[in-house]
Structure 1
């Protein structure tokens, strides 16, 4: 292995089932996703405050069948004292490249070499190109995988490219998934910096949403309203996951459902409705439970995940998906609990909605008590052994599944709007306070109040591995492993 790298700065020169979109598909080939912890670790090392260049190696897994998504999961910092560092120049030893290759080989990872531009030049120089031709070949031959190169400027913005041969191909998008969802698009970047995020609620916001993919799990009372809003906001690709069919009792709260749709799959009915008023996007319907391998592999292609389910199992899968595939997750729920009256009747105790925002590496839904192991067990027993469930509830081992009044469409709309606005706020910050303070929002209509909870108020249990990708068994769940073939 030869020397690590020599960089100098030059002055900038002036099944996808239901796939039947009627128009252009969302065009993107390669995305690099950096969980907040990884991005922050890179930034802290690359900019120690001395104005000199620094270097690191980023390891990550590559996922996706229809477009490639690189998930950064480990940073190998090259010590400052091992390098020759200048404000626009760095030489660093090859032993750290060898370390990165060894770790990558052990897990099947790809390697991206990252260095800083303290002066803020957001472009690769001629010296970068020359160095990469040597370094990228060494990494590719060592790992037998595509290699990547990236630069970071003091703001934390990243621009990256990959090498499958001698030719560099830019990543279309680099995304940081943290308290805010930061996006740096290659075609909007200039040497002076990345494209600034557009103002929320504008036509420019709609144009950027047209470049993103959002997966919605659950297309019923709340999910159909979330999907409707996102479609009309111009989201470029919408993935709908729901195994259920339209029933007559659903017609009071599922948008676009009619009497003629009874017995049809919810995802197909809604996908067809979107296609009737959108010709510039793509709708993918997945008529499966999210607890299936097919649904998970479809969902992981998206940039953002929205959970509109009413089961602990569905939220558990969403929790794991968000962590393993480094996806920002929005979870929405509604409830109208009742309580007994002295006269034997019942009254509404509260009417509330909840929106949780979870980013990869942050506190999860299970950390926040949205569901727990007891609820997961109760649902399993309800499906497989209802008599055993009744005995366990009677014995006090489980708290059971409370029967709550069904959410009506007005409440669903309020909650769905809160969810979509939260998504907009993370992509296009517009609040007068930090988004960190809104990890959870609960509104209570009977009391006429709203409670908010900061990320720091939740205990992070680090329950799920971050950016593991499609490692087997999928999501760490044996039930989702590749089925064995019987000879």
Structure 2
């Protein structure tokens, strides 16, 4: 089991500002919801409680004594919110590890936490030095500890901290990338777990780029079988692959490239609850699906789990073999930014119609015959050059979030490609106040029943 912590950037910055405002030790408590899979327990930070004023009994550059009331108040809030607790304190002198005194005091603290907080999860502790996080661990119910494997900070950038970075050499075939971004980014890419939803025209191109960039683990979801008519735009496909599951073609593509990428196959669409739940282990998700129900679910997923989703699409307006316009889009779905509903990229009517078809196909057919459900329409035109261009745009946005190579002023959350006009536009729009994505009560909510507060089809 691995243990991780995810912050929103605003919460991390508030924590850092509090802990760094004195040459003496400072402390705070973090209230966290939980995401639990077979392989990972992920703590999602939803609130920061600074320890201040009369809650501090003693304080110096090397020690701190906190009043019991501060602990009990934080534990009560965690229990009330069905959350877990993380204790954070600073070492302004730069000492990187938990001290022996930390071990003694925290053992008592977390023994009490497991008694007073009824949430079925884990609690943890972090140490922050002037250089950033330096030590991170969870305390388990039996009094033992385990390392926190990674800390994510998600916002304008996607930042990661790994307590054990290692000294592995970067393979020589990444030399040109290292010259562009440096070794640290190449090491980061090798540690990332990226999800790809759909491996058709855009998805297969995104997949190939992620593999060649050196992403360590890629989870792929697609429940469809390949049709030979799509060979002109699906990377890695062959005419003889007709009826082969698309995820198998993706798996073969990774094996043929041979960079050692770990590929995890999910042979179902994310409109199946069991498929989307597996993406809870991802650091980042690339949304390459073309149905509105799937996009709506990714909308909610990004909000509930602090996992940035790069949603993309291509639309070719063509009549009688003459192209009138080509538009592409890459939208970054993240807390605080306008979602696809806010932007009008998907409609509640079509999402509801597709959900009805998923959960009650017979009833949906009857309603469609009566004209109460919108028709899905014919397959849209697709050209490999255009799907590849938008896929490359999405991967470029991912690289910017990781590196900031476009500069600090580039904070847009959507890129519009007017391909036929050779023009690119960007925008950054806040959540609409009456949209579900603006409801902070949903942010970082993590595991709930039903999953994502949504009704799911029977599998």
2:162 aligns with 185
Change (3 A) 1:168 1:381: closer
Shift of 1:107: 4.9
Preserved contact between residue 441 and residue 452 of structure 1 (Cα < 8 Å):
yes
Shift of 1:382: 6.7
Superposed CA offset, 1:304-328 (max 9, x none): 1110011110111111111222211
Q: 1:219 aligns with which of 199, 203, 216?
A: 199
Change (3 A) 1:93 1:455: farther
Preserved contact between residue 219 and residue 264 of structure 2 (Cα < 8 Å):
yes
1:160 aligns with 136
2:278 aligns with 298
- The correspondence of residues 197-276 of structure 1 with structure 2, limited to 5 A, is 201-202=181-182, 204-276=184-256
Shift of 1:159: 4.0
- The correspondence of residues 375-454 of structure 1 with structure 2, limited to 5 A, is 375-380=350-355, 384=361, 385=364, 388-389=367-368, 405-436=380-411, 438-454=412-428
Q: 2:31 aligns with which of 24, 49, 59?
A: 59
Preserved contact between residue 323 and residue 465 of structure 1 (Cα < 8 Å):
yes
1:31 aligns with 4
**Separation in 2 of the partners of 1:87 and 1:357?**
42
Superposed CA offset, 1:27-46 (max 9, x none): x8222111223323323443
**Separation in 2 of the partners of 1:199 and 1:170?**
32
1:111 aligns with 85
Preserved contact between residue 160 and residue 171 of structure 1 (Cα < 8 Å):
yes
**Separation in 1 of the partners of 2:18 and 2:455?**
38
Shift of 1:216: 0.7
Preserved contact between residue 214 and residue 259 of structure 2 (Cα < 8 Å):
no
1:319 aligns with 299
Change (3 A) 1:307 1:143: same
Change (3 A) 1:350 1:387: farther
Answer yes or no: is 1:479 the counterpart of 2:452.
Answer: no
Preserved contact between residue 55 and residue 69 of structure 2 (Cα < 8 Å):
no
1:8 aligns with none
2:13 aligns with 40
Could you tell me the TM-score, scaled by structure 1's length?
0.80
Q: 2:345 aligns with which of 370, 373, 396?
A: 370
Change (3 A) 1:199 1:187: farther
Q: What SS class does the counterpart of residue 171 from structure 1 fall into? A: strand
2:116 aligns with 142
Answer yes or no: is 1:70 the counterpart of 2:70.
Answer: no
Q: What SS class does the counterpart of residue 191 from structure 2 fall into? A: coil
Which one has more relative contact order, counting CA pairs under 8 Å at least 6 apart? Answer: 1
Shift of 1:237: 1.0
* Greater CA drift, 160-169 or 410-419: 160-169
Superposed CA offset, 1:241-293 (max 9, x none): 01100012211111111122111110122113212333633211111120112
* Greater CA drift, 166-175 or 326-335: 166-175
Preserved contact between residue 382 and residue 389 of structure 1 (Cα < 8 Å):
no
Q: What residue ranges of structure 1 are gaps of 5+ in the alignment?
A: 1-27, 190-197, 340-344
Could you tell me the TM-score, scaled by structure 2's length?
0.85
- Number of equivalences: 436
More helix by share: 2
**Separation in 1 of the partners of 2:453 and 2:357?**
24
**Separation in 1 of the partners of 2:85 and 2:92?**
22
Preserved contact between residue 11 and residue 48 of structure 2 (Cα < 8 Å):
yes
The root-mean-square deviation of aligned C-alpha atoms, in Å, is: 3.0
Change (3 A) 1:172 1:250: same
Answer yes or no: is 1:174 the counterpart of 2:154.
Answer: no
Shift of 1:163: 1.6
**Separation in 2 of the partners of 1:362 and 1:104?**
27
Change (3 A) 1:457 1:323: closer
**Separation in 2 of the partners of 1:358 and 1:293?**
20
Shift of 1:126: 3.5
Shift of 1:201: 4.2
**Separation in 1 of the partners of 2:400 and 2:8?**
18
Q: What residue ranges of structure 2 are gaps of 5+ in the alignment?
A: 167-177
1:91 aligns with 65
Q: What SS class does the counterpart of residue 245 from structure 1 fall into? A: coil
Q: What SS class does the counterpart of residue 43 from structure 1 fall into? A: helix
Q: What SS class does the counterpart of residue 285 from structure 1 fall into? A: strand
Preserved contact between residue 381 and residue 389 of structure 1 (Cα < 8 Å):
no
Preserved contact between residue 431 and residue 438 of structure 2 (Cα < 8 Å):
no
